[in-house]
A and B are shown apart, each in its own frame.
Chain A
């Protein structure tokens, strides 16, 4: 049936069953059989995925040859009661550290999807929100639209970073021009603004030209999923104490850097 509809069929936990059913893959939990054993059973061509609850588990899965990992539970979920949520902080770190695909899972619904996508996920997994809804198909379509919107912005950002020198020139031109012109955007270019409403402000965020809708440094950190993480924030060359983040407004063309705290020694 899945083959007829062109979707993948992944068997949960049981590698032998996956093999017998000629499935496309098998999905393991942390407590199930080890990845290398599962690989031995199912062979090279079958997909193997594994649920992870911390970066160390995900990196280990990547090293051990997993094709994808689950990242979660992002929020507390009724599907796995009592399991502590990993929050979007883990999603953000997974997005920056993993080379293999990952699915964000756990408490994901159209209401929470934006936050999870903002943290860097581009693959979502939902159980309760879909099967517990009167119109499961509509929920799926909504989630899919959200993902596609973020993917479109990714593509836009990639094309922008290719023309970063050009952007720098335009930023300089905008600085020389009037502030209102900068705010009204034509001097900086309209096609680059990802938000149709045009309410965002242009920033240089960690060296990349970005449009942001956050009004304060604190709100931006929150939107990036950095609120609970050990990062130092810098605004126009000066570090900003964390307690002041919410009180520091963002202005057009501010240079913002979030610097990961380097903790090894």
Chain B
């Protein structure tokens, strides 16, 4: 039996689809010597870390910091999931990326995986260029011991919290905006779930985000460090040391507050005893084009419902008068004659940006996708060419 199979068996999840070839645990002990000398971890804790698997959900600022901590600490498998590609505006805080990644529009999960493999080749790195959604959240959680939250929006966090509580997997929330950092360890059987704490209203006002309030690197690193410390406790056999609290901090004005988390709410289908079957079934995407406004980014995401082969996409873009800005194995980015930027991902999503969609014009984003991305007769938009 290979060590990867042993790992999958030890995790006790038949659905585990870990990156078996990359998992190796015959490392010389010296690599983690200083971490092993830290008494609460020790040799046994290190062994447990090496047998663990985590999902880093979102590989932006928080995700980079979290993934790096996990990989350097010698976690067995680090699974990465992210829907976006690297841009110059990310580099001041997203520590695994560089100018070349931005120039090539490399998907964040892929760029991060390359850097992480160079940092610690003993760790199995599993990059997934996907949007975390109801259809794939089960597969992404399969076989992991906990989820580290590096997402940038409440909806995805609620989806992950629901799924984690249904599966009994701890969800380590983290957030950073402006100079504020937050982190909380939400543990099934011990604490309430995210939905119970912040509310699950679909229309809830989102509050500040990085685009309105900006963000500074130290806030990110603080939130990620708080999450990573809890992860190391949980995975190294120090579960009793977990702080079951919600921490809010500010690195600029300086403040640090800790709030005790309540136990699960009995009436909640996720963190309580209520019948799981009453938990609301996540909405599934149908095959029609579906557009989502990505909060505060001046970006609309259109799910086309089918795969978009990058080569064929690039050819269509070129035929329809677009300028190709970047093309790689995962996506093609192009500038349309009307000044919009379209990034078509292999998994069928298109990120639409530009003046045309400033007013969150979902209809316009869908029209641009039909005109320039999808298969069909090539009809450039004459009225837009002036």
A residues lining the B interface (CB < 8 Å): 55-56, 59, 89-90, 93, 97, 228-232, 234, 237-244, 257, 259-265
Contact B176 A243 (CB under 8 A): no
Contact B261 A244 (CB under 8 A): no
Are A242 and B152 CB-contacts (below 8 A) given A257-B257, A262-B176, A265-B60?
A: no
Contact A264 B203 (CB under 8 A): no
Residue of A nearest to B258 (CB): A237
Residues of B within 8 A of A59 (CB): 212
Contact A93 B246 (CB under 8 A): no
Are A264 and B197 CB-contacts (below 8 A) given A230-B206, A237-B259?
A: no
Q: Which of A97, A241, A260 has the most CB of B within 10 A?
A: A241
> Chain B 168-191 against A: per-residue CB contact (8 Å), 1 yes, 0 no?
000000111110111000000000
Which of the residues A229, A231, A238, A261 comes within 8 Å of B175, measured between beta carbons? A261
Residue of A nearest to B57 (CB): A265
> Chain B 203-221 against A: per-residue CB contact (8 Å), 1 yes, 0 no?
1111111111101000000
Are A259 and B246 CB-contacts (below 8 A) given A56-B211, A232-B197, A239-B260?
A: yes
The minimal Cβ–Cβ distance linking A8 to chain B, given in whole angstroms, is 29
B62 at interface, CB cutoff 8 A: yes
Residues of B within 8 A of A240 (CB): 262
Number of A-B contacts (CB under 8 A): 120
Contact A265 B205 (CB under 8 A): no
Residues of A within 8 A of B61 (CB): 264-265
The minimal Cβ–Cβ distance linking B160 to chain A, given in whole angstroms, is 12
B29 at interface, CB cutoff 8 A: no
Residue of A nearest to B223 (CB): A262
Contact B63 A229 (CB under 8 A): no
Which of the residues A229, A232, A241, A262 comes within 8 Å of B181, measured between beta carbons? A262
Contact A264 B177 (CB under 8 A): yes
Residues of B within 8 A of A237 (CB): 259-260
Residues of B within 8 A of A97 (CB): 208, 212
Are A264 and B205 CB-contacts (below 8 A) given A232-B197, A238-B260?
A: no
Which of the residues B206, B212, B262, B267 comes within 8 Å of A239, measured between beta carbons? B262
Alpha-carbon distance between A257 and B246 when the two chains are bound, in angstroms: 12
Contact B196 A243 (CB under 8 A): yes
Which of the residues B58, B180, B211, B213 comes within 8 Å of A265, measured between beta carbons? B58
Which of the residues A229, A241, A243 comes within 8 Å of B204, measured between beta carbons? A229
B21 at interface, CB cutoff 8 A: no
B238 at interface, CB cutoff 8 A: no
Contact A261 B212 (CB under 8 A): no
Contact A263 B260 (CB under 8 A): no
Contact B205 A242 (CB under 8 A): no
Please give 11 more A-B residue pairs, beta carbons under 8 A apart, in addition to A259-B182, A261-B175.
A97-B208, A228-B203, A230-B206, A234-B259, A238-B259, A239-B260, A241-B265, A243-B196, A257-B257, A264-B215, A265-B58
Contact A241 B262 (CB under 8 A): yes
Residues of A within 8 A of B278 (CB): none
Contact A241 B196 (CB under 8 A): yes
Alpha-carbon distance between A239 and B175 when the two chains are bound, in angstroms: 17
Which of the residues A93, A238, A243, A262 comes within 8 Å of B205, measured between beta carbons? A93
Alpha-carbon distance between A59 and B211 when the two chains are bound, in angstroms: 11
The minimal Cβ–Cβ distance linking A218 to chain B, given in whole angstroms, is 12
> Chain B 243-281 against A: per-residue CB contact (8 Å), 1 yes, 0 no?
000101000000001011110010110000000000000
Alpha-carbon distance between A229 and B209 when the two chains are bound, in angstroms: 14
B149 at interface, CB cutoff 8 A: yes
Contact A265 B267 (CB under 8 A): no
The minimal Cβ–Cβ distance linking A235 to chain B, given in whole angstroms, is 10
The minimal Cβ–Cβ distance linking A200 to chain B, given in whole angstroms, is 25
Contact B246 A264 (CB under 8 A): no
Alpha-carbon distance between A176 and B265 when the two chains are bound, in angstroms: 34
Residue of A nearest to B267 (CB): A243
